[in-house]
């Protein structure tokens, strides 16, 4: 590798070198507790996916260029140049990680491997080694924003088609999907497609919510790709929309990473405090049920139901009780997985892996611990408020012909909701 390229990559690390990152790089005791916490390592036994090993690749560059011992006696200090061999290893281990942060939960020093790997992605992108598919999806989202007038009429026509289904579902010919509505209380940010718009629209209508639908989807492949600037610009699309419309809160659909980006990252990236609240749709639905704004039939679901905590909603987002309260309000036989909440096993579908075709076999294999959890409950229905988790769980279900039903929590609510006509 040319000296100029090395300077570029080490410059990325230098720019990211906060006190906390330095502490993470210095403090690992190699106790290997993280090996029993990582679903990928447990499923494969491959050191490539050991959390401490993933972080060690960045630590080797750090030792080489940011410590005197590593600079002068690199062989003794396990220091290493960011050559093609290291970049190959870094790519394989970094883009395989789902960012579930279960390793951090069990680490005695709370080392945030996912944070270290965000630095690894920045280095890979600087080396033109970022994941191609995730990068293309991020660029496609930005292209849509930059050329929005080309897509506006098509999007609005799609919303009108969904609106007809909302009228049928609610039995109310006046039901609508409002768009671009100034002064609404809620801006709802869905995923692309009717599946995340229709149930929310029916729930908002029944609750009498003053809401409007975002023209942009909540998914953020800039975040998965590892480019914070692109991730910010993708989130800016609906954040700017919310400010323009003057809404009181932004409600994110059943999508783990989109909720985390909007709730925890966007203010820091933009350098501005949001003039509105950000909430997950399940927080809103739970409130509606408690306040009597919607009514659901207890026992509407008689088959045993379990709930999967998406890592970005649960362990990294702090939403645990609201979805359980919702499912318990509907199902007569709710069976929680063990372990659950902060200790829940990652399903294996996060980090953008479901969009990377070459990762499919590995991704499904890494779901072994999740399958153990599901089978132990004896449940026939799995509820989970994350698109990527559901795709992964459906893949595992199809692969092993388990006969399970994987459902969004919103769909369970709509199926059990008593419509007041």
Portion of the chain with pLDDT greater than 70, in percent: 97
**All domains in the chain, ordered by first residue:** 3-129 (1.10.1060), 134-290 (no CATH), 296-416 (3.40.50)
pLDDT classification of 174: cutoffs 50, 70, 90: confident
Cα(163)–Cα(143) distance, integer angstroms: 27
Q: Is the pLDDT of residue 289 over 60?
A: yes
pLDDT digits (tens, 9 = 90+) for 354-390: 999 999 999 999 999 999 999 999 999 999 999 999 9
Question: Tens of pLDDT along 122-166?
Answer: 999 998 999 999 999 999 999 988 888 888 888 888 888 898 888
Query: For position 80, what pLDDT does the model report?
Result: 76
Average pLDDT of the residues in 198-204: 95
| Average pLDDT rounded to a whole number, residues 85-111 | 92
Q: What is the mean pLDDT of the chain?
A: 90
Mean pLDDT of 17-38: 87
Summarize pLDDT for 317-353 with one digit per residue, the tens: 999 999 999 999 999 999 999 999 999 999 999 999 9
Closest by CA to 350, choosing from 294, 380, 312, 377, is 312
Q: How large is the average pLDDT for residues 304-310?
A: 96
């Amino acid at each position: 590798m040319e000296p100029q390229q090395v300077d570029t990559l080490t410059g990325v690390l230098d720019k990211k070198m906060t006190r906390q990152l330095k502490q993470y790089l210095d403090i690992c005791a190699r106790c290997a507790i993280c090996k029993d916490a990582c679903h990928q390592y447990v499923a494969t036994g491959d050191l490539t996916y050991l959390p401490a090993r993933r972080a060690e690749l960045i630590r080797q560059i750090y030792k080489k260029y940011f410590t005197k011992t590593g600079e002068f006696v690199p062989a003794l200090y396990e220091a290493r140049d960011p050559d093609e061999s290291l970049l190959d290893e870094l790519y394989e281990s970094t883009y395989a990680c789902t960012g579930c942060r279960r390793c951090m939960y069990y680490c005695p020093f709370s080392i945030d491997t996912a944070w270290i790997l965000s630095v690894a992605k920045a280095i890979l992108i600087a080396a033109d080694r970022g994941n191609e598919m995730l990068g293309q999806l991020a660029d496609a989202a930005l292209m849509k924003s930059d050329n929005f007038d080309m897509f506006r009429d098509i999007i609005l026509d799609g919303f009108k088609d969904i609106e007809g289904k909302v009228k049928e579902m609610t039995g109310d010919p006046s039901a609508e999907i409002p768009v671009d509505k100034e002064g609404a209380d809620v801006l709802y940010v869905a995923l692309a497609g009717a599946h995340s718009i229709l149930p929310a629209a029916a729930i908002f209508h029944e609750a009498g919510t003053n809401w409007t639908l975002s023209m942009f989807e909540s998914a953020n492949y800039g975040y998965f790709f590892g480019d914070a600037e692109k991730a910010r610009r993708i989130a800016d699309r609906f954040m700017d929309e919310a400010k323009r419309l003057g809404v009181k809160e932004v409600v994110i659909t059943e999508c783990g990473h989109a909720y985390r980006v909007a709730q925890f990252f966007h203010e820091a990236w933009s350098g501005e405090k949001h003039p509105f609240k950000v909430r997950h749709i399940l927080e809103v639905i739970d409130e509606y049920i408690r306040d009597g704004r919607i009514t659901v039939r207890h026992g509407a679901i008689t088959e045993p139901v379990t709930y999967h905590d998406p890592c970005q909603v649960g362990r990294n987002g702090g939403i645990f009780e609201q979805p359980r309260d919702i499912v318990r309000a509907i199902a007569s036989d709710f069976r929680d997985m063990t372990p659950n909440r902060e200790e829940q096993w990652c399903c294996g579908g996060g980090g953008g892996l479901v969009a990377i075709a070459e990762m499919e076999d590995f991704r499904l294999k890494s779901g072994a611990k999740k399958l153990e959890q599901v089978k132990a409950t004896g449940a026939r229905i799995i509820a989970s408020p994350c698109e990527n988790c559901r795709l992964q769980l459906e893949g595992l279900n199809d692969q092993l012909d388990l006969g399970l039903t994987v459902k969004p929590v919103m769909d369970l609510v709509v199926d059990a909701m008593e419509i007041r006509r």
